[in-house]
Every structure is written in C-alpha cells, then in structure tokens.
C-alpha cells in the first residue's frame, strides 16, 4: 500500500498527538486523586489507567508505523514490515470495559447495581472488540470485514441501549450540580462510540485508494480514542471533584 507524503505526515503526527495526550491525561487524573473523596478514588484511578494503557499502545502504534514506512526526500516507502493493527484491539479489549466501569463508579450506585452493571456491560464490551477484530485484520474491504463488523454491532447496540435507557433513572438521582455533567458524559460515550463503526465501515462507501482508506481509519480512530478516553476522562474527573466537594460541604 502506498502513502503520499501528506498522508504519512498526518498519520505520523496523529499518533504522536495521541501518545502525548494520553500520557498527559493519565498524570492529570492520578495527580487529581488528592482532590476527590475516598468514594471516587477508584473511578479516578481507572480513568487514569484507561489513558495510561492507551498511551502505551499509541507509543507502540507510533513505532510500528515508523517501522512500516520510511520517508526520504519527501517520498514515502513501505519497508515491507507489517503495521500491527492488533495494538488497537488489545488496547480496546483492556480500556473499553474499564471506560464503562469508570462511568458506573462515578455515578455512585448501590454496590449490587455497580457490580451487576460493570459485569454485564464489561463482558458485552469485550465481546464487541473480539468480534470486530477478525474483520479489521482481514486483508480487504470485503464480506469478512462486513460480517464480523455487523456481529460486533450486536453487543455495541446492547451497550449503547443500556447506557441510554438503563442509566436514565440513575441520572435523575444524581446531585443537581452534576446531573448535567453526568448526562453529558453519557452522551460523549454514545457519540464518540458511534464514531468507531462509522470509521470501520467507511471503506465500504468511500471511493479512495488504499492509502486514503488507511489514513481515514487511523486518523479517525485516533480522534475517537482521544474523545472517548481523555475528554470523557476530564468529565469523569470533574464529576468526581464536584461530588466530593458537595459531600464535604
């Protein structure tokens, strides 16, 4: 697959941007641990874990991309080394269940409900990632990509439905000054998550060459990851801080 110099630069810088963002976000969340009460510390630790794991994988993705393509005098050449798509999936397998758990934890539900929702949504999230993987690594824009992607949409829609309907009651029980934020965080999850299947299925409707498709997928996933993990994490942090302050008062 050939990349133009512009495509190469865009992907390269998107990966570096992701790495910097995720590690910086991790430190932000963990240094914020002293600002929240005991009850929300686990939520914040997990928020940082999500961005830490993402930072690690973006560093690996950056290096894998650097090994797969070299640039000289403005021309980009594929070296023959394979760009490892699996890093993203290993990342998601770890981070997506954790992401859901951090949202559930910050809502401060009962212990039983926290365990129940974390388990069902966590398993559904893992299933969603596992089913998407065979489609992503299949060599072309073909029925393999389509079928596995479609299967992956089943747990995806189950999660989105549960976040939307299943958490509606809980949101009304939140303290007034965070209700808007919790609702916004739920929307950020849902909207940023819809970005992933759009990117996944984009090659079927786009009429661009391999390099263009690759660029859209890699840059698209990077934007979705930054929103779903770092921006979402800042919202979780803000909710945790406000809830801790209102309890202390």
Binding-site ranges for a second copy (CB under 8 A): 5, 9, 12-13, 16-17, 19-21, 23-24, 27-28, 30-35, 38, 41-42, 45-46, 48-49, 52-53, 56-57, 60, 71-74, 79-82, 84, 86-87, 90-91, 93-94
Identify which of residues 153 and 223 has a Cβ nearer to a second copy in the complex: 223
Identify which of residues 174 and 244 has a Cβ nearer to a second copy in the complex: 244
Shortest distance (Å) from residue 171 CB to a second copy: 21
Number of helices and strands (H, E) in the chain? Answer: 9, 2
Q: Would you call 208 helix, strand, or coil by DSSP? A: coil
Identify which of residues 19 and 152 has a Cβ nearer to a second copy in the complex: 19
Shortest distance (Å) from residue 207 CB to a second copy: 26
| Phi, then psi, of 70 in degrees rounded to 5 | -120, 155
Identify which of residues 122 and 163 has a Cβ nearer to a second copy in the complex: 122
One-character DSSP codes across 50-107: HHHHHHHHHHHHHHHHHHHEEEETTEEEE-SPPP-THHHHHHHHHHHHHHHHHHHHHT
Identify which of residues 46 and 163 has a Cβ nearer to a second copy in the complex: 46
**In Å, what is the CA distance from 98 to each residue of 2, 19, 128, 155?**
36, 19, 14, 16
Shortest distance (Å) from residue 218 CB to a second copy: 15
114 and 166 Cβ atoms separated by less than 8 Å: no
Shortest distance (Å) from residue 157 CB to a second copy: 27
Query: What tokens were used for 140?
Result: 């072309």
Q: Which of 246, 241, 203, 221 is nearest to 47 (CA)?
A: 241
| Phi, then psi, of 69 in degrees rounded to 5 | -135, 140
Identify which of residues 10 and 160 has a Cβ nearer to a second copy in the complex: 10
Residue 12: CB partners within 8 Å, gap ≥ 6? 62, 65, 66
Shortest distance (Å) from residue 164 CB to a second copy: 26
Shortest distance (Å) from residue 182 CB to a second copy: 17
Query: What tokens were used for 125?
Result: 């999230």
């Amino acid at each position: 697959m050939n990349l133009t110099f512009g495509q190469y630069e865009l992907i390269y810088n998107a990966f570096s941007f992701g790495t910097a963002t995720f590690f910086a976000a991790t430190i932000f969340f963990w240094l914020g641990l002293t600002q929240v009460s005991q009850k929300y510390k686990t939520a914040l630790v997990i928020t940082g874990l999500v961005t830490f794991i993402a930072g690690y994988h973006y560093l690996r993705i950056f290096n894998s991309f650097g090994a797969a393509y070299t640039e000289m005098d403005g021309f980009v050449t594929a070296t023959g080394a394979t760009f490892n798509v699996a890093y993203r999936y290993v990342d998601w397998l770890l981070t997506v269940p954790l992401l859901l758990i951090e949202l559930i934890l910050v809502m401060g539900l009962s212990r039983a409900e926290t365990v129940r929702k974390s388990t069902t949504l966590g398993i559904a999230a893992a299933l969603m990632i596992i089913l998407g993987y065979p489609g992503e690594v299949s060599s072309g824009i073909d029925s393999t990509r389509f079928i596995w992607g479609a299967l992956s949409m089943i747990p995806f829609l189950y999660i989105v439905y549960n976040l939307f309907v299943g958490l509606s009651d809980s949101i009304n029980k939140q303290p007034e000054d965070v209700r808007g934020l919790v609702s916004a965080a739920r929307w950020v999850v849902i909207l940023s998550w819809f970005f992933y299947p759009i990117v996944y299925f984009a090659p079927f409707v786009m009429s661009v060459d391999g390099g263009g498709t690759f660029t859209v997928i890699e840059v698209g996933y990077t934007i979705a990851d930054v929103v779903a993990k770092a921006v979402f994490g800042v919202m979780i942090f803000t909710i945790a801080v406000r809830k801790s302050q209102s309890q202390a008062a």
